[in-house]
Amino acid sequence: MIQYLHKQLSTINNFNSMILSDKTLEKMIASKELIINPIASNSIQPASIDCHLGKHFLTIEDQEMTNITLDTPIKYREIETDSITIPAHSFLLATTEEYVELPSDITAFVEGRSSIGRMGLFIQNAGWVDPGFKGRITLELYNANSLPIKLQSGRRICQLVFCKMDQAAQNPYNGKYQGQEKSIGSRIFQDDEVK
């Protein structure tokens, strides 16, 4: 039992993944190992990088569908604007201004900013950006408030927290959202198990 515990502790001590600091992020951006474009001077936080709201949005065309399924495309309406209002208890897809490219040994978590969350606006993107991803990040926005929330493009909306993996991914991301330049709706109908 003692040998087993010693082995487990040794494995934990050899685990090299970590959250990246502002100093490390600045160095990686300067060397172009990590691409974030554009990058504002006030975007780099102590352990994250703030991202700004873009101008492209998608809403579900609920008048044209009777339900949403996992195996058929969803109909969306595109909106390109400098500001948008999300009605109470409503859902909207948005995109970041920033284009990102992650190396094969770095992953990122997408988190809402605390100040935004305190308004009742929930921000997600499934919470995860795979190593090797290239593109703008599609955000899922939900207004949990009883009042509409007006958003302005160019404002800081979320943050990326970067984590170094224990080793480079054997198969970096090359999926159905690779290279996205604007808000992209669900492509779950393209999943392998549907074919």
Name 101's bridge partners: 35, 134
Altogether, the residues listed in the chain come to a count of 195
Tell me which H or E stretch contains 12: helix 2-14
CB within 8 Å of 179: residues ≥ 6 apart = 134, 135
Q: Which of 26, 33, 140, 193 is catalytic?
A: 140
Rounded to 5 degrees, φ, ψ at 11 are: -65, -45
CA angle 99, 168, 166 (to 5 degrees): 110
CA 145 vs CA 87, 105, 151, 157: distances in Å: 9, 38, 14, 17
Q: Identify whether 111 is a catalytic site residue.
A: no
| Residues carrying an active site annotation | 140
